[in-house]
Amino acid sequence: KQEVTQIPAALSVPEGENLVLNCSFTDSAIYNLQWFRQDPGKGLTSLLLIQSSQREQTSGRLNASLDKSSGRSTLYIAASQPGDSATYLCAVLRDNYGQNFVFGPGTRLSVLP
Amino acid sequence: ETGVTQSPTHLIKTRGQQVTLRCSSQSGHNTVSWYQQALGQGPQFIFQYYREEENGRGNFPPRFSGLQFPNYSSELNVNALELDDSALYLCASRIGTEETQYFGPGTRLLVL
């Protein structure tokens, strides 16, 4: 059974810092891995999607890496801003048919002005 | 905006009651998934519907059931509500097996 964990559970940083969020998964047989952002009480916004054959994806100040063999992914946020404050969730997809995402518990990020 | 809406936004029920949550997807989105997110946890997959048939289910009991309609709307029904059913319920839709899923804002259910 796939299990996804995220470290740290919460993080508070001053504006402008670079930071790394970590995600680990127990079963390396994944189809893809996605990072999502969730604002309080709201739905999910997809940030980055990494296919199982890829090593990293970049979008603006965000960079996500994937090491499938070790069951790890990191989300790097450069030059953090107060607007980045949210919960960040990673999710792995075993296949693209009847099964669906297995989510981690999330990292709650606060960026202080 | 994802084009996915959910209603109601908030709901309070008592233990033992039944509830129906609704999701309206974009035109053409014939796959819809439902997730339960307890406070402080990541979403958990409940089930998925494709062309009005359930084609995948997570570890949830049969009292969680669903329907998908030809107009790209769907419902999640929960019978015999328990206190632990209190959560944010999210739906996500997509076209077939396309990788991009669009999440709605969720319905927050409180069971007293």
For residue range A69-95, list pLDDT tens digits in order: 999 999 999 999 999 999 999 999 887
Question: What percent of chain B has pLDDT above 90?
Answer: 74
> Which of B41, B58, B103 faces A43 most closely, judged by CB atoms?
B103
Show which of residues 68-107 on chain B sit within 8 Å of chain A, judged by CB atoms. Answer: 88, 90, 92, 97, 99-101, 103-106
Decide if A86 touches B, using CB distance below 8 A. no
Q: How far apart (Å, rounded) are the C-alpha atoms in residues A108 and A37? A: 10
Six token digits for residue B36: 């339960």
Phi/psi at B42 (nearest 5 deg)?
A: -80, 160
DSSP bridge pairs for A67: A72
DSSP for B18-81 reads -EEEEEEPPTT--EEEEEEE-TTS--EEEEEEETTEEEEE-S--TTEEEEE-TTSEEEEEE-S-
For residue range A19-62, list pLDDT tens digits in order: 999 999 999 989 899 999 999 878 899 999 999 999 999 999 99
Q: Yes or no: say if B5 and A42 are a contact pair by the CB < 8 Å rule.
A: no
Amino acid A96: pLDDT: 67
Closest CA to A6 of A107, A101, A91, A76: A107
Q: How far apart (Å, rounded) are the C-alpha atoms in residues A69 and A57? A: 17
Amino acid A76: pLDDT: 97
Largest CA distance in chain B: 38
Decide if B66 touches A, using CB distance below 8 A. no
Residue position matching structure tokens 């790890």: A72
Q: How far apart (Å, rounded) are the C-alpha atoms in residues A106 and B1? A: 22
For residue range B24-78, list pLDDT tens digits in order: 998 888 899 999 999 989 999 999 999 899 988 999 999 999 999 998 899 999 9
Q: Which residue has the higher pLDDT, B98 or B27?
A: B27
